[in-house]
Structure 1
């Protein structure tokens, strides 16, 4: 997934798509469009935090609005919606991989779906709600209280970003969208055909090889989109460019690879020693004795992880610590791994924007000082704080609806254990 997304990123496709979406938004709807795009940003990994907020500031400035509002609002929505969205990225693959290994520690976990799209319906729905709330808070709460910017937004030592799109980029964007549309149509047709090898046992659509093999299918979609765009926009000019881009993507993942090595050993020791199972049984018994076996248990879990998220800013590191205990715990009281992962996504996102351990917080402060030279860290954090509680409540409300009506969190992934 990282190689495929890397092709789309390094050819310029993802950045151009963000520019095209934000730049075309009417001034009145701009906060909501920025919030929606920001909530899809995790497909770009951490690059989203580097690209979307400064572009949002430029779009606000071009529309005659306060650029600081665009910058702060976009940063808040990228962080709070980092685990949400209609898009699928490397983060989803990482979370699904950890969840699958942990769930397998219990025999019952081998029957629970833990594929890449296990939370897709939930995250897609949440991104719409978060975008509406984020746009409202930016336009009606944050922007009216901001002082007029005294800076012009230029850094003085580097070329400033722009929202302009060239003819080649626009043509590449249209052609890549058409290519992905054709690719998707072919996959769907083959999947729906009777007797297709993409169907599951007995001709079932769910579960089927489409879901278990969603990573290679998405790999193909991202690579096709990136290559088509790159050729049209002339960012791919040689046959070796695409493999080179994939290699650069893996190089940038060196820190994650080291982290995953440690995580793999941690989970393996937990499974080998049965400490994880022991803790899960004890925690499940404690929850049952306290009467916390329903949605309230999930809320308590979210609040605990939200506090830990202030100390451990890496979502993958935090999930690797929490999953070996809480995934089996909630499985023992009848909740699916998909539900536990959905609850973790909420906690991992809600307070990410205000933790001092988030290095991108200081980057956003540097960007804000281009428009407001006297701004301090406390200034930025106080403006971001207005988003935390509404976003946390909104996330929990969406999960509560899925829980109350027993809606699937993703294809074939329900609330309860199979």
Structure 2
């Protein structure tokens, strides 16, 4: 049974068709439509731990939407797909017989428009990040006050006026070397790379600003060019990226040494504000002055405390106490010396008395005499002399010379 266009002919209740047969006929008619490429916006994406994935596409110009089924491989091949992206899908309609629902099976999925560009940029970001070009350790420190600033921007652009006016307003003495370059179009990246090489080769330039106003994703694509990004990473001079406005984020922002949200912000990063610096100097001088005053006052208070001490009012007062102690000690020492001398004199007198009592002179004083022969030899026995020998007698008050008449030995 074939489905024909609606007509006035109707079947009767007696010739009613089975519902399943009608559904199968509708299913066959729908699936004969074949494959077709369509464009739509992803409004819902549900990833599952299953071979079949589901997403919902909506026509960007109407309220029509449809459920799409695809394999995990088709979804992964499309790239990092997120809700809101516009995609190109190769679809064929399918009717599910059980509930007569209509869906579309997707055989191939591609990200379209800006989404595809974003995928390509994301892949480039991952590649450069894996090489370490975005690491913070390789970013160069900007000089505090550069004498010469290099500027790469479009000729006569608003970005050029913003950077120059703000540089002069913030620090009038700064010098700027401007290198005009194409900031849009297929030759833009190469022209900016050439300007970067020229300014980087100048040893007098201490920082380089690459500035451009806002624009669409396609307009800012040159500043995500891989060659330009690698040139900025290899530059000797620190580079400030000031591309577009705050929401814009080309890859150049990630590899530059500093990112500025706007060209005006780039000027603020490149040089300090003279008025702010003068105010800071005044504040610091005032703090230094107050610190010196506080320190001097503290030292004066300390000196006053030292001068108020008794020893400072009467420096010799402390010596009086020590003098009394010294006098007492000297007196004790003198008494000890005198006592020691007296004791030694007494001991010496006793020793002298003992010596004198034992000396021959004391014996002579008691009436004894010492006998010696003519040669002065001591005579201790009568047998030491002969009659007629002359002897010498030592008495207490002198000497006598006697002659031996006879000898008599004690019996």
> TM range, normalised to the smaller chain?
under 0.3
Q: TM-score scaled by structure 2? A: 0.20
More strand by share: 2
**The structure with more radius of gyration:** 2
More helix by share: 1
Q: TM-score scaled by structure 1? A: 0.20
Greater RCO, 1 or 2 (C-alpha within 8 Å, sep 6+): 1
